[in-house]
C-alpha cells in the first residue's frame, strides 16, 4: 500500500526548475513547429530535439521534471496502444527470430564499440563497455558510478547516439522512400470523451502496477498495454486528439535535447570523436543484421531499421509513431533489448570490467 501511495505522490519542482521546464518546452515547441512547417523529416520530435539541444549547449539550464516526463510517456504509450489492430500484428510469427537476432546484434555492436573505444581512444574497459551498451541509460549510469567509470565520457557517447539517430533516421528513411505508406492507424478518429477517460485511467493504473513490480519503462508500456487491450476488446474506438500526440512528440524531443544542459562544451568536444566513432561501429554492425532480416523475412525495411536502431527506447517509439512505422513491432524489440541489456550488463561488467582506478597511470 505504501508503494502505491509513493507512486502516486507528486514531487512538485521548485520555482526555478518550473521556469526551466517552461523554457525547455517553449523552445522545443518552437523547434518542432518550425520543422513541421518546413516539412522536414521527423517533424515535431526532431525539431524539438534540435532546438533544445542547441539551447542547452549554449548554456541554458534546460530540464524536464519527472512528473512531466511521466505524463509524456503516458501519452506516447496511449498513442501507440491505440493503433493496435490485426493488420499490425500480422508479423508476430517473425518476432522470435528477429528478437533473437536483435540480442545477437546488441552483443556484437556493444563488444565492437567497446573494443573501438579501448584501442583507438584509450578508454578503460569498463567505461568503454558501458558507453557501447545501447539503451537502458539509467542502469548504465548507476553501474558507471558504482564501478568508478568515466561518467561524463559515457554520457557524451550515449547522448550523441540518441541525438544522431533521432535526427538522422527520419531523413534516411525519407530519402530511401520507405515511409510514404501511411498507416491507417495514424488517421484514426478521436476517441469519445468516455473512451479518452477510460484510456487515461486504465493507462495510469496499469503503469503504476508495472512500476510496483519494477517493470522496465513502466509508464510507456503500461499505457501501451492498457490502450491496446481496450481497443482489442472493442471497448474503445479511436485515439488521442492530434494535439495530444503532438504534445507527446514535442515533449520527448525536448527531453532528449535537454540532456546536454549539464554538459560542458569542453567535455562534449573532448569526447566527440569517440562518440561519433563508436556510433559508426554500432550502426554498421546493426545494418548487417537489418539486411539479413530484410532478405530472409517479410518484415518491412522501415520497421526493421527502427527496431534495430541502437537508440533510446522512448525516442525510437516516438519515431515509430510519427513515421507511420509499426509501433508494436518496434516496441517489442526495444523492450526485449532493454531487458537484455538490463540483465546482462551488470554480470558482464562484474566479470570483465574493472574500476577506473585500476587503469589510471
Which pLDDT tens digits describe the chain residue by residue (361 residues)?
Answer: 555 445 445 555 677 788 899 999 999 999 999 988 887 766 788 888 889 988 988 888 898 898 998 999 899 889 878 866 545 555 555 578 888 898 899 899 999 999 999 999 999 888 899 888 886 665 676 677 667 788 778 878 887 887 788 778 887 777 766 654 444 344 457 889 999 999 999 999 999 998 898 776 788 888 988 988 888 788 888 888 988 988 988 998 888 788 777 777 777 777 889 999 999 999 999 999 999 988 888 888 888 888 888 877 777 877 777 777 877 788 788 878 877 776 777 777 766 655 444 444 4
User: In the prediction, which pLDDT does 156 show?
Assistant: 82
Predicted pLDDT at 23: 94
300: three-class secondary structure by DSSP: coil
Eight-state DSSP code of residue 82: T
Whole-number Å distance between alpha carbons of 217 and 3: 17
The residues near 352 (Cβ < 8 Å, ≥ 6 apart) are 125, 129
Tell me what pLDDT residue 91 has. Answer: 52
Q: DSSP 3-state assignment of 190?
A: strand
Say how far apart CA 287 and CA 165 lie, in whole Å. 13
Query: How many distinct helices (H) and strands (E) make up the chain?
Result: 16, 0
CA–chain centroid gap for 103, Å, is 17
Sign of torsion, CA 186 191 196 198? negative
Do 68 and 11 meet the contact criterion of CB atoms below 8 Å apart?
A: no
As a whole number of angstroms, the distance between CA 322 and CA 324 comes to 6
Distance of CA 42 to the CA centre of its chain: 14
For the question of whether the overall pTM of this predicted structure is more than 0.75, the answer is no
- Per-residue pLDDT, 181: 40
Q: What share of the chain is helix, strand, coil (3-state, %, to 5)?
A: 75, 0, 25
Amino acid at each position: 500500500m505504501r508503494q502505491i501511495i509513493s507512486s502516486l505522490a507528486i514531487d512538485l519542482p521548485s520555482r526555478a526548475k518550473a521556469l526551466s521546464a517552461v523554457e525547455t518546452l517553449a523552445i522545443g515547441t518552437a523547434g518542432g513547429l518550425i520543422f513541421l512547417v518546413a516539412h522536414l523529416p521527423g517533424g515535431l520530435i526532431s525539431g524539438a530535439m534540435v532546438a533544445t539541444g542547441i539551447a542547452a549547449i549554449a548554456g541554458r539550464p534546460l530540464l524536464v521534471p519527472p512528473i512531466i516526463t511521466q505524463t509524456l510517456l503516458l501519452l506516447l504509450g496511449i498513442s501507440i496502444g491505440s493503433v493496435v489492430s490485426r493488420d499490425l500484428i500480422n508479423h508476430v510469427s517473425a518476432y522470435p527470430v528477429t528478437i533473437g537476432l536483435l540480442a545477437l546484434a546488441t552483443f556484437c555492436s556493444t563488444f565492437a564499440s567497446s573494443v573501438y573505444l579501448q584501442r583507438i581512444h584509450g578508454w578503460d574497459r569498463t567505461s568503454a563497455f558501458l558507453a557501447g551498451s545501447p539503451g537502458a541509460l539509467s542502469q548504465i549510469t548507476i553501474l558507471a558510478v558504482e564501478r568508478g567509470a568515466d561518467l561524463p565520457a559515457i554520457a557524451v557517447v550515449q547522448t550523441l547516439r540518441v541525438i544522431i539517430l533521432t535526427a538522422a533516421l527520419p531523413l534516411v528513411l525519407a530519402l530511401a522512400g520507405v515511409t510514404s505508406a501511411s498507416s491507417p492507424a495514424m488517421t484514426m478518429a478521436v476517441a469519445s470523451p468516455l473512451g479518452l477517460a477510460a484510456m487515461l485511467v486504465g493507462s495510469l493504473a496499469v503503469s503504476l502496477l508495472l512500476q510496483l513490480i519494477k517493470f522496465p519503462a513502466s509508464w510507456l508500456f503500461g499505457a501501451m498495454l492498457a490502450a491496446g487491450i481496450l481497443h482489442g476488446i472493442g471497448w474503445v474506438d479511436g485515439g488521442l486528439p492530434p494535439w495530444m500526440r503532438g504534445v507527446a512528440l514535442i515533449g520527448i524531443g525536448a527531453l532528449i535535447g535537454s540532456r546536454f544542459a549539464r554538459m560542458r562544451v569542453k567535455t562534449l568536444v573532448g569526447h566527440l570523436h569517440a562518440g561519433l566513432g563508436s556510433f559508426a561501429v554500432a550502426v554498421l554492425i546493426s545494418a548487417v543484421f537489418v539486411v539479413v532480416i530484410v532478405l530472409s523475412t517479410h518484415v518491412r525495411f522501415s520497421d526493421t531499421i527502427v527496431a534495430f536502431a541502437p537508440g533510446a527506447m522512448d525516442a525510437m517509439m516516438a519515431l515509430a509513431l510519427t513515421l507511420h512505422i509499426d509501433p508494436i513491432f518496434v516496441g517489442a524489440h526495444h523492450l526485449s533489448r532493454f531487458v537484455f541489456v538490463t540483465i546482462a550488463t551488470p554480470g558482464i561488467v562484474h566479470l570483465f570490467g574493472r574500476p577506473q582506478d585500476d587503469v589510471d597511470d
